[in-house]
Amino acid sequence: MPVARLYVSMPSGPAAPLLFVSIIIPTFNEGSHIGRLLAHLRAINGADAAVELVVADGGSLDDTAAEAAAHGARVVQCPRRGRAAQLNHGAARATGQILYFLHADSLPPATLLPDLRAAVATGAVAGCYRLRFDEPHWFLAANAWFTRFNFNGIRYGDQSLFVRREVFERAGGYREQLQLLEDQEIVGRLRQHGPFRVLPGYIVTSARKYRRNGIYRLQAVFALLTGLFWLGVPQARLVQLYQRLVRG
For residue range 130-150, what is the model confidence (pLDDT) as tens digits? 999 999 999 999 999 999 999
Distance separating alpha carbons of residues 98 and 165, to the nearest angstrom: 6
Q: How far is CA 236 from CA 80, 81, 178, in A?
A: 17, 16, 9
pLDDT surpasses 90 at 1:
no
- Find the angle CA(120)-CA(144)-CA(54) to the nearest 5 degrees: 45
Mean pLDDT of 188-196: 96
Q: Is the dihedral of CA 93, 126, 32, 209 positive or negative?
A: positive
Quote the distance between the C-alpha of residue 189 and its chain's center: 16
> Is the CB of residue 70 less than 8 Å from the CB of residue 101?
no
Distance separating alpha carbons of residues 46 and 40, to the nearest angstrom: 10
The model's confidence at residue 248, banded by pLDDT at 50, 70 and 90, is confident
pLDDT surpasses 80 at 7:
no
pLDDT in tens, 11-66: 334 455 789 999 999 999 999 899 999 999 999 999 898 999 999 999 999 999 99
What is the residue-averaged pLDDT of the chain? 91
Phi, psi of 18 (to 5 degrees): -70, 140
